[in-house]
Amino acid sequence: MKAAKFKYVAPRSLEEALGHLGSDPDAKVLSGGQSLMPLLAMRLAAPSVLVDLQHVPGLNAIEDIDNAVRIGARVTHRAVEHSELVARRVPILSLAARHIAHPQIRSRGTFGGSTAHADPSGEWPTVLLAVGATMHLQGAAGRRDVHADDFFVGPFTSSMEPAEILTQVSVPATWDRWSFQEAAVKAGDYGLALVAAVASVENDTITDARVSVGAAVGSVTRLREVEQLLIGAAPDLNTAERAARVATDSVKPISDIHGSSDYRRNLVGSLVKRAIVELKNGA
C-alpha cells in the first residue's frame, strides 16, 4: 500500500522544526519512521507535512549527567543496545533493547520516536515508567520537563502538545537493582506482557521500588499494589511469590486475538515473580 500525498522537510535546527510544526496543525515529526511509515502506508495517518529530525543537531547523544543518563531523541534502539555507558549505568535499557523488534528495525527506530509514540506494548514506555524517567520537551514557548508518571496518559497518547518536540530523556541511574521481563510468541514480536521493576535496597530491605507493566494492558501502567508490598520487604523468594499474587489480582489486562485477559493475568504474575527474583539476585 502507498501513503497518501504529503510534503516533506528536513530542517537544520530545532527552531526551524518547531516553526514547521507550529505553522501547520497537521504537520508531524518523522524520526526513524518505523511506526509512522506503516501508519502512512495503511493510511491510518495522513499528515500534511513530515518534519524529518535527522539533520537537527543535538538529538544524537548519550550523556552521563550526575545521577542520570540523558539520551537524545534521535538515538537509535541499536545505539542504546550497544552503548557501554548505558550497560554500566542503566542496564535495564540494554536488557530491554534486545526485545525491540529486529535488527533491521532497531537500526532505524529511535528512542525518542518510540517514547513519543507511547505504544502500550513498547519496551521504552514500559521501562521509562518503571525507572521514573524525565522527558525533556521543547515547544515554541520554551522547554519543559515531564515526569513519566504524567507523560504516558493512554494508549498511543502522551501529554505532549502536537507542536512540541521530545528532545531528550533523562533516565535515573540511582536504582540499585533492575529487572526487565518479557513474554513474546517469537523473538522480535511485540510482547504479550512486559514487566519492568527497579528497587533501592539497604541492609537487605527494599527501601523504594517501582514496577510497571506493558503490552498486557491498555496503556503502560504502574503496579502500585506490588510496589507497596515490596517497600519494606526483603528481596527474597517469599516476597517474589507474594508480589506475583498481588500482581495477578490487581492487574487489569486486555483481551485480544493474541491472548485472553486470564492468560495475560497469569503471564503478568509469572513475569513479576521472575523480576523480583532477579532484583533479589541483583542485576
- The CB-of-217 to ligand FAD minimum distance in angstroms stands at 15
As a whole number of angstroms, the distance between CA 181 and CA 121 comes to: 13
Residue 273's Cβ-count burial label (10 Å; 0-12, 13-18, 19+) is: buried
Q: Which of these ranges, 36-44, 148-156, 236-244, 260-268, lies near another protein under the rule CB under 8 A?
A: 36-44
The yes or no reply on residue 6 touching another protein (CB under 8 A) is yes
What residue 107 binds from another protein, ligand FAD, none (CB within 5 to 8 A, per partner kind)? another protein
Give the residues lining the site for ligand FAD (CB under 6 A).
Answer: 28-36, 38, 53, 73, 100-101, 105, 109-110, 112-114, 116-117, 119, 122-123, 165-166, 190
Which residue from 3, 14, 87, 231 is in contact with another protein, where contact means CB under 8 A? 3
Q: Which of these ranges, 29-37, 166-174, 216-224, 261-269, lies near another protein under the rule CB under 8 A?
A: 29-37
Q: What count of other Cβ atoms lies within 10 Å of the Cβ of residue 266?
A: 19
CB contact at 8 A, 91 and 47: no
The yes or no reply on residue 105 touching another protein (CB under 8 A) is yes
Which residue from 14, 19, 91, 241 is in contact with another protein, where contact means CB under 8 A? 19
Strand bridging mode 142-147 / 152-154:
unpaired
CB contact at 8 A, 218 and 157: no
Which residue from 25, 103, 232, 282 is in contact with another protein, where contact means CB under 8 A? 103
- Three-state SS letters, 125-185: HHHHHHHCCEEEEEECCEEEEEEHHHHEEECCEECCCCCCEEEEEEEECCCCEEEEEEECC
Establish how many alpha carbons lie within 13 A of residue 246's alpha carbon, considering only the half-sphere containing its beta carbon.
18
What residue 40 binds from another protein, ligand FAD, none (CB within 5 to 8 A, per partner kind)? another protein
What residue 7 binds from ligand FAD, another protein, none (CB within 5 to 8 A, per partner kind)? another protein
Q: Cell numbers 541499536 label which residue?
A: 78
What residue 1 binds from ligand FAD, another protein, none (CB within 5 to 8 A, per partner kind)? another protein
- Spatial neighbors of 23 by CB under 8 A, at least 6 apart, are none
What residue 49 binds from ligand FAD, another protein, none (CB within 5 to 8 A, per partner kind)? another protein
Q: How far is CA 165 from the centre of its chain?
A: 16
As a whole number of angstroms, the distance between CA 62 and CA 85 comes to: 8
Q: Phi, psi at residue 204, to the nearest 5°?
A: 60, 25
The yes or no reply on residue 258 touching another protein (CB under 8 A) is no
CB contact at 8 A, 144 and 137: yes
What residue 8 binds from ligand FAD, another protein, none (CB within 5 to 8 A, per partner kind)? another protein
The yes or no reply on residue 263 touching another protein (CB under 8 A) is no
Give 156 or 241: the residue with its C-beta nearer to ligand FAD: 156
Which residue from 18, 21, 29, 40 is in contact with another protein, where contact means CB under 8 A? 40
Residue (of 114, 82, 100) closest to 188 by Cα position? 100
DSSP state of 256: B
> Which residues here bind another protein, judged by CB under 8 A?
1-12, 16, 19-20, 24, 27, 30, 33-34, 37-38, 40-42, 49-52, 54, 78, 101-105, 107-108, 186-188
